[in-house]
Amino acid sequence: MIAKQTLRDRKKEATASALAEAAFELALEKGLDGFVVDDVVQQAGYSRRTFANYFSCKEEAVAAVAVPTTSVEEYEKLLAGLPQAATPLDVLYSLMQMQFTAEFLLKIRKFISLSKQYPTLEPYILGVFRRLQMAAQEALEPFAHGRYKDGYTHLLVGAVYGAFVPILDGGLNVLLPGETEAEPTDAIPFDQYLNSMFEYLRKGF
């Protein structure tokens, strides 16, 4: 089950988020080679020692901004609103609607774009998706336990989250929430893509 957060946990999360946001903004503004850790802590208003308590390097801090910060309360509200008979796909559909906000999708797309320019960021992409998948596995546990084999839910989570890689790296022409087309194209709105993907998973390919 998803662990409850204490006040200390929330403060630590806020500190990590502030450092990550500062690193990400500097990377977008100056490029990864255009700033150092001292610039990050100065912009975020923390010490270099505090930075070292959360991140081993600026690359790790930049990558941290691409992980959604969903509170335990939000998870609990989501799960409480689902019927006990909900299928793993029902849970994942609701979870992705909560996690994949317009702000998050835009950030992770920018992060992937940065990683193409600066290869030292590439190893962190896997970590971002791993954390998303771990959160999904935890959310699925109450609905899948005793009804589905562990291998099934791992495979399902991998398939669902893997389907978003081509959206974020530009492999598929999908309009993120809030985006508009500069000129008429064959771009698919994000909500339409999400619904189509889950329809394939429910009915088969």
DSSP 119-167: GGGHHHHHHHHHHHHHHHHHHHHHHHTTTS-HHHHHHHHHHHHHTTHHH
Confidence tier at 18 by pLDDT (50, 70, 90): very high
Fold match between 1-65 and 66-205? Answer: no
> What token pair was written down for 126?
């896997």
Do 152 and 97 form a contact (C-beta atoms < 8 A)? no
pLDDT band at 1 (very low <50, low <70, confident <90, very high): very low
Is-contact 100 174, C-beta < 8 A?
Answer: no
Give the domain ranges of the chain: 1-65, 66-205
Largest CA distance in the chain: 53
**How confident is the model over 128-157, as a mean pLDDT?**
82
CATH entry, 66-205, from 1.20.120, 1.10.3470, 1.20.1740, 1.10.357? 1.10.357
In the chain, the percentage of residues whose pLDDT exceeds 90 is: 33
Mean per-residue pLDDT for 101-121? 90
112 and 125 Cβ atoms separated by less than 8 Å: yes
CATH level 3 topology of 1-65? Arc Repressor Mutant, subunit A (1.10.10)
Across the chain, where does the E strand assignment appear? 174-175, 188-189
Cα 164 to Cα 176: distance, rounded to the nearest angstrom: 12
Q: Which of 22-26, 36-40, 148-152, 196-200 has the least mean pLDDT? A: 148-152
In this predicted structure, what is the pLDDT of residue 183?
61
pLDDT of res. 162 = 87
Residue 138 or residue 19, greater confidence:
19
Q: Tell me the three state secondary structure of residue 181.
A: coil
Q: How far apart are CA 132 and CA 161, in angstroms?
A: 8
Angle, helix 88-99 to helix 190-203, in steps of 10 degrees: 170
Mean pLDDT of 121-134: 86
